[in-house]
């Protein structure tokens, strides 16, 4: 269980459910297949696979669980082709094409009629609660997708008080200073990926990859008021990542120093492999997050 991303939510109060209670609650709101007229269905699935009745994996102070999503896919080209055929038929009969509002209504009706035969696109989103840090960690690059999981969890449990980490100009200032001095703090070293933005109405964005952080072009952008909002980093030679100024983490990749701790040869089952990977991952990420909070402060 290796998360590639980490969207963070600070719990407003200590999470009081144990693994068994949480598993039972998630099981009671398990994913159901999309009904014929449903566009999307959401519910919880077991991280151990479809044959398991356990919906939570606990490792120390971390509780892992998974949201399942089934979404109907209607290719725009297919819908538009059917719509154009209808429009051509109406024009041939009446001599004129329907207006924009009527076309919109016709398209919506077509999508409803085609929905039962639409392909279903399944996906899963994993998350875990770190009881020690009082955090929810969601494996999503998109903040909106992470918010969807939180909303589903809130619906399932009746109440789940958690706050996202919003964009921080002070965090962007710190990242910018790291680039200017070509050195991070708290065990963080600079990597080659960088995004600079103007945090004002002009909405300027500059992206760079595999470049020297202190080249003349980057310095010129910073002199012109750009701030670093995403930065590639390495932490103690154990993990590589891209950190954003809203505390979002992308492109998580553990180095061989970490991966070599996992003894695959002694693992006899998929369950043991999942447990071992999640244990190692959650401990490494906890150390990383504690270091980030020490540098940038907690939410």
| Residue-level pLDDT at 46 | 96
| Residue-level pLDDT at 292 | 96
46 and 124 assigned to the same domain: yes
pLDDT tens digits, one per residue of 197-232: 998 777 788 888 766 666 677 788 888 889 999 999
Structural domain span for residue 138: 7-74+117-164
31 and 80 assigned to the same domain: no
Q: Is residue 1 part of a domain?
A: no
Whole-angstrom Cα distance, residue 102 to residue 6?
44
Whole-angstrom Cα distance, residue 260 to residue 52?
29
pLDDT tens digits, one per residue of 74-129: 888 887 888 888 888 888 888 888 888 888 888 888 878 877 878 889 999 999 99
221 and 136 assigned to the same domain: no
289 and 200 assigned to the same domain: yes
| Residue-level pLDDT at 105 | 85
| pLDDT tier, 268 (very low <50, low <70, confident <90, very high otherwise) | confident
160 and 111 assigned to the same domain: no
pLDDT tens digits, one per residue of 32-67: 988 888 889 999 999 998 889 999 999 999 999 999
138 and 281 assigned to the same domain: no
Q: Is residue 254 part of a domain?
A: yes
Q: Which comes out higher in pLDDT, residue 266 or 258?
A: 258
b or e along 257-268 (b: 16 or more beta carbons within 10 Å of the residue's beta carbon)? ebeeebeeeeee
Domain finish residue from 129, 145, 164: 164
The DSSP bridge partners found for residue 67 are: 44, 125
pLDDT tens digits, one per residue of 13-24: 999 999 999 999
157 and 106 assigned to the same domain: no
- Two structure tokens written together for 295: 């540098």
Assess whether pLDDT exceeds 90 at residue 29: yes
- In total, how many domains does the chain have? 3
DSSP assignments along 35-92, one per residue: PTT-SEEEEEE-TT-TT-S---EEETTEEEEEEEEEEEE--HHHHHHHHHHHHHHHHH
92 and 238 assigned to the same domain: no
CB 184 within 8 A of CB 232: no
User: Where do the H-state alpha helices sit in the chain?
Assistant: 19-27, 76-94, 100-114, 143-157, 169-181, 216-223, 256-259, 270-296
Other CB atoms within a 10 A radius of the CB of residue 31 amount to 20
Closest CA to 236 of 277, 181, 186, 178: 186
Percentage of the chain modeled with pLDDT above 70: 96
CB 68 within 8 A of CB 42: yes
Which residue is it, tokens 């695959």?
Answer: 264
Cα dihedral 270, 274, 279, 281 sign: positive
| Residue-level pLDDT at 214 | 62
pTM of the predicted structure, to 2 decimals: 0.85
């Amino acid at each position: 269980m290796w998360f590639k991303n980490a969207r963070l939510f600070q719990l407003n109060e200590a999470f009081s459910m144990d693994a068994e209670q949480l598993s039972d609650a998630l099981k009671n709101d398990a994913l159901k297949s999309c009904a014929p007229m449903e566009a999307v269905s959401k519910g919880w699935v077991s991280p151990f696979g479809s044959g398991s009745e356990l919906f939570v994996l606990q490792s120390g102070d971390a509780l892992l669980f998974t949201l399942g999503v089934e979404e109907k896919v209607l290719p725009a080209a297919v819908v538009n082709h059917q719509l154009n055929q209808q429009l051509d038929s109406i024009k041939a009969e009446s001599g004129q094409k329907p207006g924009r509002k009527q076309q919109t209504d016709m398209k919506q009706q077509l999508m409803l009629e085609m929905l039962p035969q639409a392909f279903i696109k399944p996906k899963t989103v994993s998350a875990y609660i770190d009881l020690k840090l009082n955090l929810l960690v969601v494996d999503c690059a998109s903040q909106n997708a992470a918010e969807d999981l939180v909303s589903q969890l809130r619906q399932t449990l009746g109440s789940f008080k958690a706050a996202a980490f919003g964009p921080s100009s002070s965090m962007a200032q710190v990242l910018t200073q790291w680039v200017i001095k070509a050195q991070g703090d708290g065990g963080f070293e600079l990597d080659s990926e960088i995004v600079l933005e103007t945090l004002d109405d002009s909405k300027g964005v500059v992206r760079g990859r595999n470049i020297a952080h202190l080249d003349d072009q980057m310095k010129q952008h910073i002199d012109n008021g750009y701030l670093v909002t995403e930065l590639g980093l390495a932490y103690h030679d154990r993990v590589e990542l891209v950190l954003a100024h809203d505390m979002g983490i992308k492109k998580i990749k553990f180095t061989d120093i970490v991966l070599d701790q996992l003894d695959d040869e002694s693992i006899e089952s998929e369950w043991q492999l999942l447990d071992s990977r999640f244990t190692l991952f959650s401990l490494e990420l906890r150390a990383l997050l504690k270091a980030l909070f020490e540098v940038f402060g907690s939410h």
